[in-house]
Amino acid sequence: MKYGFYPGCSFKSAAGYQLSVAALTRAVGIEFVEIPDWNCCGATVFFSLDDIKAVALAGRVFALAAAGGFREIVTGCNACYATLRKSAELLAKKPDYLSALNRGLALEQLHLAEPLPVRHILQVLVDDLPHSAWASQTKRGFESVPVAGYYGCQLTRPFGDADDPEQPGILERFIKRLGFQPVAHSAKTLCCGASHGVPYGDECSPLIARIVRGAHEKGARLIATVCPLCQFNLDQGQQRASGLPKLPVLFFTQLAGLALGLPPEELGLDQLLISAQGVLRQR
Phi-psi region of 36 (alpha: psi -120 to 50; beta: other; left: phi over 0): beta
User: Is position 157 an interface residue for other proteins (rule: CB under 8 A)?
Assistant: no
Q: Given the complex with other proteins, which of 94 and 246 has the nearer CB atom?
A: 246
Query: In whole angstroms, how close is the CB of 206 to other proteins at the nearest point?
Result: 9
Residue 114 beta carbon to other proteins: minimum distance, rounded to whole angstroms: 29
Q: How far is CA 199 from CA 38, 205, 233, in A?
A: 27, 12, 12
For residue 130, the number of C-alpha atoms closer than 13 Å in the C-beta half-sphere is 4
Q: Of 233, 100, 122, which is closest to residue 169 (Cα–Cα)?
A: 122
Q: How far is the CB of 168 from other proteins (least distance, A)?
A: 9
Q: Is 165 in the site for other proteins (CB under 8 A)?
A: yes
Question: Distance (Å, rounded) from C-alpha 150 to C-alpha 191?
Answer: 10
Indicate whether 37 belongs to the interface with other proteins (CB under 8 A).
Answer: no
Q: How far is the CB of 133 from other proteins (least distance, A)?
A: 15
We find the least distance from the C-beta atom of residue 215 to other proteins, in angstroms, to be 9
Under the binding rule (CB under 8 A), the answer on residue 161 touching other proteins is: no
d(CA 269, CA 76): 17
Quote the CA–CA distance of 17 and 22 in Å, as a whole number: 9
> What's the CA gap between 258 and 148, in Å, rounded?
16
- 221, amino acid identity: R
Least distance between other proteins and beta carbon 207 (Å): 11
Which residues, in sequence order, are bridge partners of residue 147? 182, 222
Q: Please, what sign has the CA dihedral across residues 278, 275, 218, 157?
A: negative
Shortest distance (Å) from residue 187 CB to other proteins: 6
Among 91-99, 165-173, 234-242, 246-254, the segment contacting other proteins (CB under 8 A): 165-173
Does position 210 interact with other proteins (CB under 8 A)? The reply is yes
Q: Which of 164, 203, 265, 270: binder of other proteins (CB under 8 A)?
A: 164
For position 184 contacting other proteins by CB under 8 A, the verdict is: yes
Residue pair 4/68 in contact (Cβ under 8 Å)? The answer is yes
Tell me, by CB under 8 A, how many residues bind other proteins.
Answer: 12
Residues written for the chain: 283
Q: Is 191 in the site for other proteins (CB under 8 A)?
A: no
CB 247 within 8 A of CB 212: yes
Residue 167 interacting with other proteins (CB under 8 A): yes
Of 34, 108, 166, 270, the residue at the interface with other proteins (CB under 8 A) is 166
Interface pattern 212-251 for other proteins (x via CB under 8 A): -xx--x----------------------------------
Residues near other proteins (CB under 8 A) are: 164-167, 184, 186-187, 190, 210, 213-214, 217
